């Protein structure tokens, strides 16, 4: 297909997955509203329907909990094709049945971008209404995912990271005792080849973490103190740092000086705290198990998000450029979700190697803002080629380019429309 034809197909996927103001990631496999999926989807809608883009974000925040948390799944209806559903989570923190933890907080960055490109005349008004909700969510992250004020953000579950069965979680996950789960039937493997999904022993521990948090009533302070899994994540940390920078720009534009001062303090703390994730042997930022203080030993695609977060010092930039080139020599398409030189790398298993379009988008933005246009363009061109050859899949093999996971995927379509398509690149130029 031509890029214009792919543009049309991507728009059709978004409108086809539209459930009346919110979008599901794909039919069958993911039948609910997912947090960061929705936020990326808004970027895609903004290329042809800005009002609908704003509505996507607004509907996500309809599910915000009383303590400020925005859940990773909103169960707006009960769909038996998905497990674990609302009865397994057992939450009552917000107005809509939901999961009990969050997901990477991309929303402030997307609201910033929506406002910057808004031509509806209502963007500032809508951003004004979202700003206090964004502030409360960010305060929640700092209170309950960095309770010791270290300047890094931990996740209480691999699912909270958005990168579910990354090798970085293996060591911490093995320490989780399997208990309080009972018999269950997975649904994901009926939609997708089991060879592309997490193993059963991983799933047992995923559900055991949910049970442990449910047993303390999802009280955020108790969860942070007692959850058997608590791992500082470079992915969420860097996305959050970038989101704080974009939230600061929003607050300044809207004349909210008190909020702006508060955000500046968050940024300063996180810029200092990021050093805790630096692995001197690998020359990259990695995850840290906060229960054992042990660093992980592999470079994930999230390591490259340091630039997206604004950490563009010479050491970080040159190290990531070196890793970029080394990895580019090992695979056909960038950026694999895990280092292909690591023994845990698997090119087609969920987050243990595949390429994800929205991660490429954020990494490329970081390289471009650091002045490295060539590597940013390599990522865009690779993403475009993957979609041209593999369709609008959930993710792709970095070796063959084959699409994998769910099909007709919303955020892949959105990233095509907002960034990867040559049509969009020409408009941006």
Q: Is 124 an annotated catalytic residue?
A: no
Phi, psi of 279 (to 5 degrees): -105, 110
Cα torsion for 36, 214, 149, 163, to the nearest 10°?
-30
94 DSSP 8-state letter: S
Q: Is 128 an annotated catalytic residue?
A: no
Q: Which residue of the set 146, 233, 290, 394 is catalytic?
A: 394
Q: Which residue of the set 67, 164, 171, 377 is catalytic?
A: 164
**Ramachandran area for residue 293 (φ above 0: left; ψ -120 to 50: alpha; else beta):** left
User: Which H/E stretch holds residue 178?
Assistant: none
Nearest alpha carbon to residue 363 among 376, 348, 373, 350: 376
Phi, psi of 388 (to 5 degrees): -60, -40
- Residues 45, 53: contact at Cβ < 8 Å? yes
Q: What are the Cα distances from residue 402, in Å, to 56, 267, 354, 387? A: 30, 39, 10, 9
CA end-to-end distance (rounded Å), the chain? 23
Question: Which residues are catalytic, by number?
Answer: 164, 394
């Amino acid at each position: 297909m031509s890029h214009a034809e792919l543009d049309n197909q991507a728009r059709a996927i978004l409108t086809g997955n539209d459930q009346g103001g919110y979008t599901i990631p794909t039919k069958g496999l993911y039948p609910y509203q997912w947090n960061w999926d929705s936020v990326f989807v808004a970027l895609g809608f903004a290329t042809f329907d800005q009002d609908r883009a704003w509505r996507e974000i607004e509907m996500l925040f309809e599910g915000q909990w009383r303590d400020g948390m925005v859940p990773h799944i909103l169960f707006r209806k009960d769909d038996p094709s998905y497990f674990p559903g609302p009865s397994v989570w057992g939450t009552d923190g917000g107005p809509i049945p939901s999961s009990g933890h969050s997901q990477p907080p991309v929303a402030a960055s997307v609201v910033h971008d929506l406002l910057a490109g808004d031509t509806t005349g209502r963007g500032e008004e809508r951003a004004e209404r979202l700003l206090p909700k964004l502030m409360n969510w960010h305060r929640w992250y700092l209170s309950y995912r960095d309770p010791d004020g270290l300047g890094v953000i931990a996740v209480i579950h691999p699912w909270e990271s958005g990168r579910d069965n990354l090798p970085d979680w293996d060591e911490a996950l093995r320490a989780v005792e399997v208990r309080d789960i009972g018999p269950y039937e997975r649904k994901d493997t009926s939609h997708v080849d089991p060879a592309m999904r997490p193993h059963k022993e991983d799933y047992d521990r995923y559900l055991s973490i949910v049970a442990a948090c449910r047993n303390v009533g999802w009280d955020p302070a108790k969860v942070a103190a007692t959850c058997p899994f608590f791992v500082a994540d470079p992915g969420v940390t860097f996305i959050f740092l970038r989101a704080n920078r974009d939230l600061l720009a929003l607050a300044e534009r809207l004349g909210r000086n008190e909020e702006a001062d508060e955000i500046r303090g968050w940024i300063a703390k996180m810029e200092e705290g990021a050093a805790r994730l630096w692995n001197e042997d690998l020359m990259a930022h990695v995850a840290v198990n906060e229960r054992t203080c042990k660093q992980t030993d592999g470079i994930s695609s999230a390591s490259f998000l340091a630039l997206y977060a604004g950490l563009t010092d010479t050491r970080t930039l040159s190290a990531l450029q070196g890793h970029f080139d080394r990895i580019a020599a090992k695979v056909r398409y960038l950026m694999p979700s895990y280092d292909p030189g690591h023994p845990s790398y698997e090119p087609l298993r969920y987050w243990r190697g595949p390429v994800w379009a929205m991660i490429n988008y954020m990494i490329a933005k970081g390289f471009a803002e650091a002045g490295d246009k060539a590597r940013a363009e390599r990522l865009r061109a690779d993403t475009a080629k993957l979609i041209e050859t593999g369709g609008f899949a959930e993710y792709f093999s970095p070796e063959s380019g084959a699409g994998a996971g769910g099909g007709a995927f919303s955020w892949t379509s959105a990233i095509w429309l907002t960034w990867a398509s040559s049509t969009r690149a020409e408009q941006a130029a």
